[in-house]
């Protein structure tokens, strides 16, 4: 796990990065954010309408949906609605929403109030609960596993750790740096480009050393991916836990993490990263944001220049952004609700697990 000192945000990119030499700083370009597609989702309303958009023409339907859902919200949380009689649309919605939002901040400060407008909801009030990832990169280093599996004396620990990685890769579906079309793969490809095309003839020996480092990184990554992608591994997980005999404190901590993983596997079955995020639902069509695959990933950390370059790229990309997709749950109020139903048990346990795992991998020594 890597802690960041800046607010982070990512975006998916397809453009080729500017090439640079090994010791040069990465330069990033400022990009203009796209116009927001829907004013209701961003709570921007005008008291006077000039040239109304198509969705505004259906104002009665929007009003009815909004105020019905607001009634349901106030019924559950017990606050009084603002009297907006005599206020024109959409100013009445803007005032009512601002009042409800202020009430909810006092009653439930951990919830955000939003207006959802899509093909099923003309303008429905909903609450969102978000898990704070705390400006942290959840990068899981595969190098310790690779080295454990090469060590005959520690291979049993390697096999057990292999099961943990398999759960995170196959079930949770955490991106892997060797997989095509992942953000981390793109970061490594940029490093290869810079070394391949931006090396002076005088630096030919250094170039060979750098490419050898990259080859080692990709070789280990390919071997580990092949192993953790094996469907048989998780079927043997329980037996591996029961038969494992720790040789030291590191092994004991590994065993504890494995028991947590097995418990999650039983409690959440096939729950994956996709289940934790409200992809595209909030602030639709906004590209300049941090996506999950850009702060959660497997990678190879040899504590050398490659890792420094990868983290430099990530930090530069993050600084370009202003929003972030984090694990969230949503509750709609288009119908009366008997109770609050937000449940973030899976992401809470998963990120706690990854934190422990990353700390354990960081302390690994042969």
Q: What percent of the chain has pLDDT over 90?
A: 71
**Confidence tier at 198 by pLDDT (50, 70, 90):** confident
| Mean of pLDDT values over 212-218 | 95
pLDDT of residue 199: 64
Q: What would the pLDDT profile of 237-293 be if each residue is shown by its tens digit?
A: 999 999 999 999 999 999 999 999 999 999 999 999 999 998 766 555 466 789 999
C-alpha span between 43 and 25 (Å, rounded): 39
| Mean of pLDDT values over 294-316 | 94
- pLDDT over threshold 90, residue 8: no
**Confidence tier at 1 by pLDDT (50, 70, 90):** low
Q: What percent of the chain has pLDDT over 70?
A: 81
- pLDDT over threshold 80, residue 22: no
**Confidence tier at 135 by pLDDT (50, 70, 90):** confident
Choose between 18 and 110: higher pLDDT: 110
Decide the pairing of beta strands 124-130 and 136-141: unpaired
pLDDT of residue 29: 36
pLDDT of residue 201: 64
| Mean of pLDDT values over 295-309 | 94
Domain boundaries, the chain: 2-35+137-326+343-362, 40-116
pLDDT of residue 118: 86
Token duo for residue 46: 């005008």
- pLDDT over threshold 70, residue 204: yes
Q: DSSP characters for 215-263?
A: HHHHHHHHHHHHHHT-THHHHTHHHHHHH----SHHHHHHHHHHHHHHH
C-alpha span between 100 and 176 (Å, rounded): 43
- pLDDT over threshold 90, residue 100: yes
> Which 3 state secondary structure label does DSSP give 364?
coil
């Amino acid at each position: 796990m890597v802690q960041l000192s800046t607010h982070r945000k990512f975006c998916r990119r397809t453009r080729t990065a500017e090439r640079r030499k090994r010791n040069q700083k990465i330069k990033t370009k400022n990009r203009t954010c796209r116009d927001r597609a829907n004013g209701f989702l961003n709570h921007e309303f005008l008291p006077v309408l000039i040239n109304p958009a198509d969705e505004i023409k259906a104002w009665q339907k929007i009003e009815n949906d909004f105020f019905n859902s607001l009634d349901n919200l106030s019924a559950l949380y017990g606050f009084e609605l603002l009297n907006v009689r005599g206020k024109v649309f959409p100013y009445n919605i803007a005032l009512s929403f601002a009042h409800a939002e202020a009430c909810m901040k006092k009653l439930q400060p951990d919830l955000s109030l939003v207006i959802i407008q899509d093909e099923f909801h003309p303008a429905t009030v909903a609450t969102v609960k978000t898990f704070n990832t705390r400006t942290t990169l959840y990068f899981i280093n595969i190098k310790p596993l690779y080295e454990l599996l090469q060590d005959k004396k520690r291979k049993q620990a390697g096999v057990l750790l292999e099961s943990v990685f398999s759960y995170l890769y196959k079930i949770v579906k955490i991106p892997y740096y060797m997989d095509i079309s992942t953000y981390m793969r793109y970061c490594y490809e940029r490093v290869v480009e810079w070394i391949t095309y931006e090396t002076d003839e005088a630096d030919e020996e250094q170039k060979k050393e750098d490419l050898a480092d990259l080859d080692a990184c990709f070789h280990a990554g390919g071997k580990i991916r092949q192993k953790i992608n094996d469907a048989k591994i998780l079927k043997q997980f329980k037996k591996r836990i029961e038969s494992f005999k720790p040789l030291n404190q590191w092994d004991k901590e590994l065993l504890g993490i494995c028991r947590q993983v097995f418990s999650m596997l039983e409690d959440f079955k096939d729950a994956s990263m996709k289940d934790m995020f409200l992809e595209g639902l909030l602030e639709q069509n906004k590209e300049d944001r941090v996506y999950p695959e850009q702060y959660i990933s497997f990678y190879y950390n040899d504590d050398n220049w490659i890792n420094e370059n990868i983290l430099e790229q990530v930090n530069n990309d993050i600084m370009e952004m202003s929003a972030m997709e984090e694990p969230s749950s949503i509750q709609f109020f288009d119908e009366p609700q008997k109770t609050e139903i937000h449940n973030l048990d899976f992401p809470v346990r998963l990120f706690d697990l990854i934190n422990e795992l990353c700390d354990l991998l960081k302390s690994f020594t042969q």
